[in-house]
Structure 1
Amino acid sequence: MALRWIAPQFGGPEVLTLVETDVRPPDAGEVTIDVRAAGVNPADYKSISAAHGTDRELPLAIGYEVAGVLSALGPDTEIASGGGAAGDAVVAFRISGGYATQVTVPAKDVFAKPEALDFPAAANLLLAGTTAAEALHVTGVRAGETILVHGASGAVGISVLQQARLMGVNVVGTASERNFDLLRRAGAQAIAYGPGLVDRVRAAAPEGIAAIIDTVGTDEATDSVGKLLPDAGRAVTIAPSDRSRAAGITAIAGALPQSAAYRDSVRGRLLDLAGEGKLVVPVARTFPLTEALAALELVRGGHPGGKVALIP
């Protein structure tokens, strides 16, 4: 028997229930993973909200990414990175039901875990990392350009900063002053959000801003596009609103087919970069699996100070 968090109804984290469940053995093209860490993301609690539609079958599983150890493979099955045997350390994304002690998932979504990452960090690499990679891709960022990242100290923002630096792209990032050192360590110029933001951006980047990546969805972030970019087509948001849509800002999301396809395509590359020590995942805190509600509340509060993982 395994433990798993499920949502028997639509709502917030408070509807989640920890249950015992049988984990079926893997069929061909599947593997079973003993979970060592599950990544905690805003997308997790959003996935059980009625705002995502009530035509889905209940109960809903929760958790998109895990790291763990293979315990079984289906017949004639290899993981996405090749090979695989019981006892191997792996990362899985995008899956369903990661808040669990054990999961059976498609082998195409499972990769060898980089030795450079421990289990909590590995379980938090790919959701934020693939989102960041898509944002850079959609805006068409090129070496030598300077971009503005709103909410640069968040999980997606920090991954954008690291990936941009590897591309030779200069970054100006907004954050609260307490997070300025974090941005600077990631190679960005840090500026405060709030009144006078546009003037501070222009002072930090007199050569001009080539693209804007918005991870927060504030009115300030949306309005900066019209003031700093001649072409709204080089702005992207992961937090769309009526205001951003009216401004012509492209929205990306894992539920969109084109986003999902691109994000799936870059998983292996991001894991290779992490294995080389070029992508780092700052983990702020871990919780026992049984304390998933407390972990979600910390993430939902918006200032966890890094990634959060559940440890079965």
Structure 2
Amino acid sequence: MRAVQQREWGGPEVLEVVDVPAPKPAPTEVLVKVVAAGINPVDFYTRMGVAYNRVLSLPFINGWDLSGIVVEVGYGVTRFKEGDRVFGMPWFPREAGAYAEYVTAPSRHLALMPEGMSFTEAAALPLAGLTAWQMAVDIAGAGPGRRVLVAAAAGGVGHLAVQVAKAQGSYVIGTASAAKHDFVRRMGADEVIDYTAVDVTKEVRDVDVAIQMFGGDTGLQTLECLRPGGLMVSGQGAWTPGMTERAGELGVRALSYLVEPDAAGLESLSRLYREGRLAVHVEREFPLEEVAAAHDLVAKGRTTGKVVLQVADPEGTR
């Protein structure tokens, strides 16, 4: 099978399209013919060797987000059958190898694609969508009467977190550059703040929950937006020194978070999609051979929504 493999950690030039043996499913696993693979910031950090290298080794096939068709079912699997359309984020943070024509995964790391969702949308959703769901719902308990601040609300996680929190009945405030305000409002935000023009900590106060995907000083400053006892869930806690201590000084709480494979969460996101309460925005698609250009685009941090690799022709899966 074709796969994007790297034999050293480094820049996008280390990504090579090569032929490697296709995997075989073990008991409780399925073999998926990959149609599309989503790209996330963690992909290029991992490529450079600065993330999760304790559980990864070279040669390495990058990627976790995928959508595709089940082509073989391992012993003991009852959730799926051959021909099912599935999506998910298997094995994270261990190697999943989604930038490839075939992937094996535990059946409970995947879910059926909702009716009407394209393979491109499905590949864009798992990691960012599960991050949004787990942070806003499972951890922070977003719901009616709660004010939720979503930082970088036009990004891959952000545009989904806005929709997830809104679907739970929360009042949602998003931060984004002025050019993206209309987009964030379409996602359901009640207020949008231009973080490039104003001090967010002065414009936004007394929120119950903050969803923060930036670390460093930005992460620390977000704590000032919380009401006493409020909670910031940080996807960059490891890169925010002093976060817990600063939260204590302000009388608020802060938790570090990392997304986990979660079939139940995927099914919840599918339900929102079927109900018309969740849209997945894909800014651009690339063929597998242009993976380096796709990584470059995501690394610039200016995308609206997600970037996706097309691994197989969707027309050939019908």
- Pairwise TM-score range, normalised by the shorter structure: 0.7 to 0.9
In the alignment, is residue 131 of structure 1 matched against residue 131 of structure 2? yes
Q: CA RMSD in A?
A: 2.1
**Following TM superposition, by how much is the alpha carbon of 1:62 offset from its aligned partner in structure 2, in angstroms?**
0.8
Residue number in structure 1 paired with 2:283: 284
CA offsets per residue over residues 143-197 of structure 1, 9 Å max, x none? Answer: 1111211111111111111111111100111100011011111221111114432
TM-score, normalisation: structure 2:
0.85
User: Per-residue displacement from partner, 1:57-112 (whole Å, max 9, x unpaired)?
Assistant: 3212211011111222224433xxx2322x22211322400001122222222221
Following TM superposition, by how much is the alpha carbon of 1:4 offset from its aligned partner in structure 2, in angstroms? 0.8
Contact 1:92 1:110 in 2 (8 A): yes
CA contact (8 A) 1:150 1:174 kept: yes
- What count of residue pairs does the alignment treat as equivalent? 295
Q: Which moved more, 1:46-55 or 1:297-306?
A: 46-55
Whether the 8 Å contact between 2:38 and 2:66 is mirrored in structure 1 is: yes
- Residue 236 (str. 1) matches residue 240 (str. 2): no
**What percentage of residue pairs aligned between the two structures are identical?**
32
Report what 2:177 is aligned to. 176
Give the match for residue 34 of structure 2: 35
Pair 1:121 & 2:121 matched: yes
Please state if 1:197 is matched with 2:200: yes
CA contact (8 A) 1:139 1:236 kept: yes
For 2:218 and 2:52, locate their aligned partners in 1 and report how far apart those are by CA, in whole Å: 29
* Structure 2: segments with no counterpart, 5+ residues: 248-253, 312-318
State which drifts further: 143-152 or 217-226: 217-226
Question: What is the CA-CA distance between 1:303 and the residue it aligns to?
Answer: 1.1
**Paired position in structure 2 for 1:60:** 60
The Cα offsets for residues 8-52 of structure 1, whole Å up to 9 and x where unpaired, read as: 122343322221011133233222211111111111122234333
The amino acid that maps onto 1:13 is P
**Which residue of the other structure, out of 201, 207, 214, is the alignment partner of 1:216?**
214
Structure 1 portions without partners, runs of 5+: 203-207, 255-259
Deviations 1:112-136 (A, max 9, x none): 1112210010011111111111211
CA distance in 2, matches of 1:253, 1:110: 18
Match of 1:162 in 2: 163
C-alpha distance in 1 between matches for 2:265 and 2:246: 29
What amino acid does structure 2 have at the position aligned with 1:88? D
* Kept after mapping to 2: 8 A contact 1:116/1:274: no
